[in-house]
Structure 1
Amino acid sequence: MRTGQWKTMGIGSLIGKMIYAVFGLAASMLCIMGYYPVVPAFYTACCLDKKRNFLLYIGLVVGMGWCMPVAAIVKYLFILFVLGIAIRFYIWANRRCSGWTAGMIAGITTIAMNTSGLLILNMEKKALILGISEGVIVFALAVLFHYGIGMGSQIFRERHKNRVEEEGVETMVGMDPQGRIHAFAEAVDELSVAFAAMDGRQKPKQQDHLDILAQEITGKLCADCDGCVVCLEQQKPDFWIKIRRMLQAVAQHSTKEEILSQNFMEECPRYSGMVEEAIWAFSRMELNEAWYHRLQENRKVIADQLDAMADALQDWDQGIRCMDRTERVLLAKIAFETRERGLDVKQIHVYEDKEKRRMVTALVASKWGGGIPVKNYRKALERASGMAVRLKEDTRSILTQEPVMITAYEDTCFYALSGVASEKEEGSSVSGDNFSLFSMENGHYHVCVSDGMGSGPSAFRESDMVVELMQKFMEAGFPQETAIRMMNSAMVLQGDRESYSTLDFMDLDLYSGQMTITKIGAAASFLKHKDRVECLRASTLPAGVDASCTGDVIHRKLTHGDFLVMVTDGVLEYLHVKNPEEKLAEMIKEIKTENAGTFAEKLMEHVMLFTGGHAPDDMTIVVSGIWEK
């Protein structure tokens, strides 16, 4: 820190102490019906907010000596002495002291002093009432001063902090994280366009292939033939026509015997060798074309992945905004309320996402040691912000003097629970179905169900890859559509064209109840609302078939008590009825329970009745319910 900054801080501190000394002097001058309630009230607030200093005591003593009679000076000096000791003792015993508690200590001390003196002197009842009234006034003023001093100093600190941060930002050229993310997103997007442009080569026509093959074969077999001059000079037009006919037969995948029997070139002594060479050359050309086609496909898949990454980066760039500059009062309230509960809070920041939902991060520790429940911090945030708050899932439950970073979010309006029932195919060692249930810090609840093609370990690996990729992409912060695109392209790139998996992905916003289901080759799902059941169908190819496929998307608004039932193909295929979806909807309608796990188990029992108690295929049922908090 520069010398000028040290000098500025020192001057500012001295000015602050002088201001409190002036207020102490003014408090000693204010007399109300022979009493001076402002003195103990102001001193109480200064004790709590750590504003006691040598100049403050000078201001109080000078004011008291100038304006008060000797008896009042003795009385209020004794009150100040008792207050200082009492507040310190209370903090030592309870590790905290709020403004209301300190105000009560000040009021009770003042009443005790007044009533004890009045009782000894046996004075009038009116004076006794006035003495008690002074204690009530001291209590109210102490709370008021404490709130004013605490909030005022916190707001001043926030303004000073923001000013210092702004000055620091001006000196950090090229270190803007938001700008770097935007630039990186543009670079990735341009790279995606470059990869996509590589697929722009025009595919040669079959006639061009045949001409190339004709040139290659004649150059290889006719060059050292004694009849070359005759074929190429005297019968040149007929010669090339016959070669093309022979090559067209090769292109149609006719057998060597069929081509030889047609004898396209009866005069050529090397016709048999020419047919063999043509078949081999055409096979090699087809193989090259297949590899080229696969390369172009992979380039397109990589281009799609880069494009998806660019979209995700753009989304992050426009995502969470820091609100510290506009929410200085809120930051001051948070600091004040947490300090009231014996907590020391630093580095407080308020953020807002695209949907205008708040997030607060802070470094929190116990102010005077000992263990303080983290719920005290949550209550302080709720009181300061006026909104319900939920803490990050891995937040410790007890706060100590060791500072810990805590992230708090605006609480959701709903909560969701899921239950699962599953049966693997008879004779199989493992189920080919996989599922995942996970909540996000942004207040979204996800259910992912995948059915691998076939059964056994190979199907399990395929569906497990789909579920794992989706969960990792979502937890990394990718938007849902982007995560699905990247997962699908990863399945395409793995190279096994005979293994595919379905995807049934549910995204539930626990703030609004808005649900989005994305289906890629998945079976129908069922939404139960009271006594009504809706079938949610979709028709797309499984994941891994087409890299550009993002699935069929279904939107619904859920309310309290709704259930979503997601099933794999095995549940519907073996009901052995004309309309299996209608039959399953009837089963769902008949189940009466508020427990998602019980719901899934009862539905599986109903299904197994139709299969005779056997599992001819892997069967998985995932039931998710939503309730208001």
Structure 2
Amino acid sequence: MSQWDGTIHSAKMVESRQATSLQKNAFFKRFAKHLTRWLTSWEMMCLVIGILFGRAMILSNLTPFILPFFATIILLKPQRRFLAIVSLLVGAATFSGWQTLFSLLAIFVYSVLRIAVVRMSKKEEAKLLPYIVLAAGLISRLGFDVLRHGELIPSLELLALVEAGLSYLLCLIFLQSLPLLSAGVRKRSLKNEEIICFIILMASVLSGTIGWTFHGFAVDHILSRYLVLVLAYVGGAAIGSTVGVVVGLILSLANVVGLYQMSLLAFSGLLGGLLKEGKKWGVGLGLIIGTLLIGLYGQGYEQLFGTTMESVIAFVVFLLTPKAVFVKLSSFIPGTKEYQQQQQQYLRKVRDVTANRVEQFSSLFKELSSSFSHQSPTLNDGEEHQVDMFLSQVTEKSCQNCFKKESCWIKNFDHTYHYMNEIMKETQEEPTIQNAKLRREWNHHCIKPDKVVDIIHEQQQNFQEKIRFKKTMQESRKLVADQLMGVSQVMGDFAKEMQKERDTHQHQEEQILYKLQEIGLDVENVDIYNLEEGSVDIDMTIPVDYHGEAEKVIAPILSDILGESIVVKKQVEATIPNGYGQVTFGSAKAYVIETGVAHTAKGGGWISGDNYSTFELGGGKYALAISDGMGNGERAHVESYETLNLLSKVLKSGIDETVAIKSINSILSLRSTDEIFSTLDLVMVDLQNAHAKFLKIGSNPSFLKRGNKVRMIEAGNLPMGIIQDFEVDVVDEELKAGDILVMMSDGILEAPMHIGNTEIWIKRKISEMKTEDPQGIADVLLEEVIRASDGRIEDDMTIVVSRLQHHIPKWSAISTYSEHHGKIPKAQ
């Protein structure tokens, strides 16, 4: 038992030590987190920057940083004014007593001027701030010189004016750069002006470290070179050299002896930025090389070791800097990879928000459609209730005061109800009972048979109107539900398209640009938006296309590179001579349709009730349609024209064809009370796979000729506008290259009056034609029909003939294949 107790005690001790260790680790993590948050807080940065600005000087005795910093802090963080005063005075005290006295005087003069100017002026304080700093700086410096020297010295007056001017400029710079240190602003990207202002701010802060040393090495040299290393690594050669020039210039003004530092920092920043592909070691190598070269030129061999060691220390600190710091800085500088990722993330967020909103609208329309689709009991289910209500009204007017009411409706309810129900059916047209047996039984059953029959007949009209109204409401609800569902589907598809990621095709863009430039084509830019087969979308910036190089050379080369036929979709010429234009290349369709039309109006007139239309839809689809308005003349022409116009607009919006036709039918049926109908013959062909859909609404059959065989394609639907609720029959067909499709209005089939079977006659005429030209077929067929009707044109006639063919590019593909560069893959 003792050994067992000892084991348990040991286990508890181990658990206790582990728990204590976990608690310590958690404590240190919390402490490190709070310490990091405190060190990077606004108050700590304000304290450090204020101390350095308080002791920073340029040209031996000018301190232009105190007033701009204090004024900006009061404007941005009024509650931190005392922290700014304390930090500036502490920094000044580390330099000299006179510097402390001047700081107190400058802060006092500025505070008085600010109160007076802000109260007197109606302008915003931010606009007046630089001018207040200018006046306060000049007054305080002149007053300090009088206090120190007892008189105004002309040279000191000139320096006071220079210091006030620098304070004015620095105030403008600090107003842009100090807000960047706020956590609420750092999430956005920086403009070039803000980057420069931020660099000037950092250089000004570094000037406050002049005179500090670390084991004999100048702290300002180490920190300035570290700053150049960081920004050259993040922003490249342009940012690195700019930082070197600005920091070197400001440090040189503070210490004229170190003027060579500007050349060293600028050259090191340039070399480091150029060698950034070598990561941190490449940037550091640029600094060491720049230090050795400029160090020899500026100070000779005596000081070379010291300045080189300062660069080595800066490089070591640079290597120890966490990667997260560089990633965070890169996200603010345009042109960097992190900045582009941040922009893409922002655009993706905007896209997702928009897509979600569209999806919400799609769901709303879907719910509305479901609400309209949910019907109360249908007409047949509620017919018994309607009959009961009807008979109740009849009873109230005829049987209420009858002495046989109890006998009829209580003792013989079933018989009475049966008789009245049958009489209701018999008296729909006139107030008489045609059925002799029913009339005889009713006369025997009721003491007022004629009066009840008359009342039933009178109430029939209201009853039938209610039935028709309810039926119309149900049809309208169903139509609205279908339309809302169609809109919901379109918006849902649109949201899915928005949420598709835009593929990055940088590798393919570079390959295409290289191949085109390799053969001598001057192409400025290549942008690839889509590389999916059949949906290629490429934009190029090329010089003025005088000889059609885009169509004759670039498109055939792209056809060979991408492995499919590419054509010029759109071309925008240059607006200036010898300038650059924009060309859009896209996939050519696998099939093309050639169409011919022949038509004539009744009696050879000018206005035909028939109309036809051909138009392209999205997704590589092509539509052909004929509409025949009821009758002839202008009214029929307007009716058929509006039908086709509505059809094209609704189909181009992306709504399903059956929903589109039902919507148009509803519009036509509800728009007017006149009996104006129109037929519709619609064919939609997918030019990528030759799949066709036929929708025939009250129209004639179409004829499909393949080789020497001709067959009819037909579907039975009533003309548009007759009834609101109908089902659209869709006939699917797989077409082939060389197929000839003949569509016609009813005037063609009704014209040959002496021919027994017109459809067989039309099929024979089409099969016997030797020509395959669509326009020739249409003209010959119309002529044959007119001849068969003895030259009379009794109705409007329209024939639309289409021939499907393989797409043959105008220019063959040009091969660019070589041993080193083959085909470009569609996906990385």
TM-score of the superposed pair, with normalisation by structure 2: 0.51
Equivalent residue, structure 1, for 2:731: 553
Structure 1: 5+ residue stretches without partners:
24-54, 63-155
Task: Quickly say closer, same or farther: Cα 1:435–1:319, change in 2 above 3 A.
Answer: farther
Structure 2 Cα separation of the partners of residues 314 and 164 of structure 1: 28
Q: Are the counterparts in 2 of residues 501 and 543 from structure 1 also a CA contact under 8 Å?
A: yes
Q: Are the counterparts in 2 of residues 372 and 400 from structure 1 also a CA contact under 8 Å?
A: no
Q: 1:219 aligns with which of 384, 389, 396?
A: 396
Task: Quickly say closer, same or farther: Cα 1:527–1:318, change in 2 above 3 A.
Answer: farther
1:211-260 superposed Cα distances (whole Å, 9 cap, x missing partner)? 3334323434555x4xx4x3234665478545763563233226335599
Q: Are the counterparts in 2 of residues 425 and 618 from structure 1 also a CA contact under 8 Å?
A: yes
Equivalent residue, structure 2, for 1:231: 404
Equivalent residue, structure 2, for 1:248: 422
Task: Quickly say closer, same or farther: Cα 1:242–1:321, change in 2 above 3 A.
Answer: closer
Task: Quickly say closer, same or farther: Cα 1:619–1:537, change in 2 above 3 A.
Answer: same
Letter in 1 for 2:632: S
After TM superposition, give the deviation of residue 565 of structure 1 in Å.
1.3
Letter in 2 for 1:192: S
Alignment of 1:194-213 (within 5 A): 194-201=371-378, 203=380, 208-213=385-390
Structure 1 Cα separation of the partners of residues 487 and 425 of structure 2: 42
Equivalent residue, structure 2, for 1:11: 236
Q: 2:685 aligns with which of 508, 512, 527?
A: 508
Equivalent residue, structure 1, for 2:456: 278
Equivalent residue, structure 2, for 1:308: 486
Letter in 2 for 1:624: S
Structure 2 Cα separation of the partners of residues 617 and 608 of structure 1: 11
Matched, 1:430 2:430: no
After TM superposition, give the deviation of residue 334 of structure 1 in Å.
5.5
Structure 2 Cα separation of the partners of residues 448 and 199 of structure 1: 38
1:53-112 superposed Cα distances (whole Å, 9 cap, x missing partner)? xx9xx99xx9xxxxxxxxxxxxxxxxxxxxxxxxxxxxxxxxxxxxxxxxxxxxxxxxxx
Q: Find the residue that maps to 1:297 and give its secondary structure.
A: helix
Task: Quickly say closer, same or farther: Cα 1:445–1:214, change in 2 above 3 A.
Answer: closer
Q: 1:570 aligns with which of 733, 744, 747?
A: 747
Q: Find the residue that maps to 1:358 and give its secondary structure.
A: coil
Letter in 1 for 2:792: H
After TM superposition, give the deviation of residue 284 of structure 1 in Å.
0.8
Q: Are the counterparts in 1 of residues 503 and 529 from structure 2 also a CA contact under 8 Å?
A: no
Q: Are the counterparts in 1 of residues 476 and 724 from structure 2 also a CA contact under 8 Å?
A: no
Structure 1 Cα separation of the partners of residues 410 and 751 of structure 2: 66
Matched, 1:599 2:777: yes
Equivalent residue, structure 2, for 1:483: 660
Structure 2 Cα separation of the partners of residues 475 and 391 of structure 1: 23
Letter in 2 for 1:554: D
1:429-487 superposed Cα distances (whole Å, 9 cap, x missing partner)? 73222110123464332211122333334433332233222211222233444434443
Equivalent residue, structure 2, for 1:148: none
Q: Find the residue that maps to 2:503 and give its secondary structure.
A: coil
Structure 2 Cα separation of the partners of residues 383 and 323 of structure 1: 28
Letter in 1 for 2:776: T
Letter in 2 for 1:255: E
Equivalent residue, structure 1, for 2:788: 610
Matched, 1:454 2:631: yes
After TM superposition, give the deviation of residue 546 of structure 1 in Å.
6.0
Equivalent residue, structure 2, for 1:622: 800
Structure 2 Cα separation of the partners of residues 167 and 323 of structure 1: 11
Q: Find the residue that maps to 1:555 and give its secondary structure.
A: strand
Task: Quickly say closer, same or farther: Cα 1:442–1:563, change in 2 above 3 A.
Answer: same
Q: How many residues align?
A: 487
Structure 2 Cα separation of the partners of residues 457 and 553 of structure 1: 32
Task: Quickly say closer, same or farther: Cα 1:278–1:538, change in 2 above 3 A.
Answer: closer
Letter in 2 for 1:11: G
Q: Which moved more, 1:253-262 or 1:321-330?
A: 253-262
More relative contact order, 1 or 2 (CA 8 Å, 6+ apart): 1
Structure 2 Cα separation of the partners of residues 338 and 159 of structure 1: 27
TM-score of the superposed pair, with normalisation by structure 1: 0.65
Q: 2:530 aligns with which of 337, 340, 351?
A: 351
Structure 2 Cα separation of the partners of residues 538 and 474 of structure 1: 20
Letter in 2 for 1:612: D
After TM superposition, give the deviation of residue 616 of structure 1 in Å.
2.0
Q: Are the counterparts in 2 of residues 419 and 622 from structure 1 also a CA contact under 8 Å?
A: yes
After TM superposition, give the deviation of residue 209 of structure 1 in Å.
3.8
Task: Quickly say closer, same or farther: Cα 1:319–1:608, change in 2 above 3 A.
Answer: farther
Structure 1 Cα separation of the partners of residues 581 and 417 of structure 2: 82
After TM superposition, give the deviation of residue 525 of structure 1 in Å.
1.7
After TM superposition, give the deviation of residue 562 of structure 1 in Å.
3.4
Q: Are the counterparts in 1 of residues 741 and 802 from structure 2 also a CA contact under 8 Å?
A: yes
Letter in 2 for 1:2: S
Letter in 2 for 1:231: K
Structure 2 Cα separation of the partners of residues 429 and 380 of structure 1: 48
After TM superposition, give the deviation of residue 204 of structure 1 in Å.
5.2
Letter in 2 for 1:420: V
Task: Quickly say closer, same or farther: Cα 1:202–1:534, change in 2 above 3 A.
Answer: closer
Q: Are the counterparts in 1 of residues 362 and 488 from structure 2 also a CA contact under 8 Å?
A: yes
Task: Quickly say closer, same or farther: Cα 1:269–1:181, change in 2 above 3 A.
Answer: same
Task: Quickly say closer, same or farther: Cα 1:486–1:219, change in 2 above 3 A.
Answer: closer
Report the structure number with the largest CA radius of gyration: 2
Task: Quickly say closer, same or farther: Cα 1:607–1:20, change in 2 above 3 A.
Answer: farther
Structure 2 Cα separation of the partners of residues 417 and 489 of structure 1: 33
Equivalent residue, structure 2, for 1:582: 760
After TM superposition, give the deviation of residue 418 of structure 1 in Å.
1.0
After TM superposition, give the deviation of residue 529 of structure 1 in Å.
3.1
Structure 2 Cα separation of the partners of residues 247 and 547 of structure 1: 29
Q: Which moved more, 1:476-485 or 1:289-298?
A: 476-485
Q: Are the counterparts in 2 of residues 418 and 624 from structure 1 also a CA contact under 8 Å?
A: yes
**Could you say which structure has the higher helix fraction?**
2
Q: Are the counterparts in 1 of residues 595 and 775 from structure 2 also a CA contact under 8 Å?
A: yes
Task: Quickly say closer, same or farther: Cα 1:234–1:621, change in 2 above 3 A.
Answer: closer
Q: Which moved more, 1:508-517 or 1:583-592?
A: 508-517
Q: Are the counterparts in 1 of residues 236 and 274 from structure 2 also a CA contact under 8 Å?
A: no
**Could you say which structure has the higher strand fraction?**
1
Task: Quickly say closer, same or farther: Cα 1:360–1:188, change in 2 above 3 A.
Answer: same
Q: Are the counterparts in 1 of residues 362 and 492 from structure 2 also a CA contact under 8 Å?
A: yes
Equivalent residue, structure 1, for 2:697: 520
1:178-221 superposed Cα distances (whole Å, 9 cap, x missing partner)? 44444433332222111110354464565544433343234345
Q: Are the counterparts in 2 of residues 243 and 265 from structure 1 also a CA contact under 8 Å?
A: no
Q: Find the residue that maps to 1:215 and give its secondary structure.
A: helix
Structure 2 Cα separation of the partners of residues 610 and 381 of structure 1: 51
Letter in 2 for 1:598: G
Structure 2 Cα separation of the partners of residues 260 and 322 of structure 1: 71
After TM superposition, give the deviation of residue 397 of structure 1 in Å.
5.0
1:273-326 superposed Cα distances (whole Å, 9 cap, x missing partner)? 554433232321211111111011110111111222233334444558866434
Equivalent residue, structure 1, for 2:189: 2
Q: Are the counterparts in 2 of residues 199 and 299 from structure 1 also a CA contact under 8 Å?
A: no
Q: Which moved more, 1:513-522 or 1:190-199?
A: 513-522
Structure 1 Cα separation of the partners of residues 340 and 594 of structure 2: 42
Alignment of 1:77-88 (within 5 A): none
